[in-house]
Amino acid sequence: MADGATSGPLLELDGITQVFSTRRGEVRAVDDVTLRLGVGEVLCLVGQSGSGKSTTAKIASGLLRPSDGVVRFEGEDILGSRRPDKSRFKRFRRAVQYVHQDPYASLNPIQDVFTTLSAPLRRHGLVKNRSQARERVAELLAQVGLNPPETFMPKFPHQMSGGQRQRVAVARALTLEPRLIIADEATSMLDVSIRIELLRMLTKLRTELGVGFLFITHDLAMAKYFGAEGDIAVMHEGKIVEYGPTLRVIDDPQDNYTKALLEAVPEADPDLARRKRAARTAARASNSDGAPASGAPAA
């Protein structure tokens, strides 16, 4: 775990396995995955499409029951029986919120922003009347940087940009004051500049509210930016192939798959990109014959 953890795990996945049946037989989408996330911490789960990271996220959120393994939240086994305790599971579902990849698909197209955000507040008895609902919705919109809030309340999803829609999705996740937010590729459909703005906003929310984040992404650069103070788990073909503090894993990867993901990250500086390619080529040559490549300094 990352340094600075001061309490027990908020979320624990122990030996999680998920098997799907297909016409061609069984597919092991998640294979014996074990993860820990502390209170207010960030855990980045990274991998290419089909690696099993989104399936793991759905299991962590209670949206999918695993074939095997245990999901614990604040020390309690959430899915321990075929009929989990309803009140305990309701508390869990309120404490764990999900932000999807595509905000246009996850927001109701015929509901305005006020209705979208006030509905869960009313359903859970967090507001008593419309006046309180408007006040709380205004606070939520301000928290996610949609100002002035009054101008966004009557808007429908098609009247907003992709970045604004995703901020509304985050505001909806905050309505029930969660302990954990699972962000599943939440920035991947946005322009790079908008991604950075959104990640800054999420970092600010984590700091101010103490909410933990399970951040699912295929982009190691985004994982490093958002999860620098936390941990990272690299997933490949359903298995965790590398796990540890984010900066250590990215700066000194041990697994070949992690190294391949890093090599796929584009480098903005062409001179630096050439130096990195030369260094990797020299390292591979050194590893292949046991001696430093030509031009590479001896150890």
Q: Please tell me which residue, 4 or 29, carries the higher pLDDT value.
A: 29
Do 94 and 176 meet the contact criterion of CB atoms below 8 Å apart? yes
Burial 235-249 (b: 16+ CB within 10 A, else e): bbebbbbbbbbbeeb
Q: How confident is the model at residue 271 (pLDDT cuts 50, 70, 90)?
A: low
CATH class for the region spanning 9-108+177-266: alpha beta
285 residue type, one letter: A
CA-CA distance, 14 to 276, in Å (whole number)?
A: 37
Rg (CA), the chain: 21
Report the DSSP beta bridge partners of residue 16. Answer: 33
CA-CA distance, 194 to 153, in Å (whole number)?
A: 21
User: Which segments of the chain does DSSP mark as H helices, in order?
Assistant: 53-61, 86-95, 103-106, 113-123, 130-143, 149-152, 162-174, 192-209, 220-226, 246-251, 256-263, 270-289
Say whether pLDDT at 211 is over 80.
yes
Q: Which residue has the tokens 């600010």?
A: 204
| 86-112: pLDDT as tens digits | 777 888 989 999 998 888 888 999 999
Work out the end-to-end distance of the chain between its first and last CA atoms, rounded to an integer number of angstroms: 31
User: Is the pTM of the predicted complex or chain greater than 0.85?
Assistant: no
Q: How confident is the model at residue 296 (pLDDT cuts 50, 70, 90)?
A: very low
Taking alpha carbons only, the member of 286, 185, 216 closest to residue 37 is 216
Say whether pLDDT at 53 is over 50.
yes
Taking alpha carbons only, the member of 175, 186, 51 closest to residue 106 is 186
Tell me the three state secondary structure of residue 182. strand
CA-CA distance, 283 to 294, in Å (whole number)?
A: 11
pLDDT on residue 5: 43
Contacts of 109 (CB under 8 A, 6+ apart): 156, 157, 158
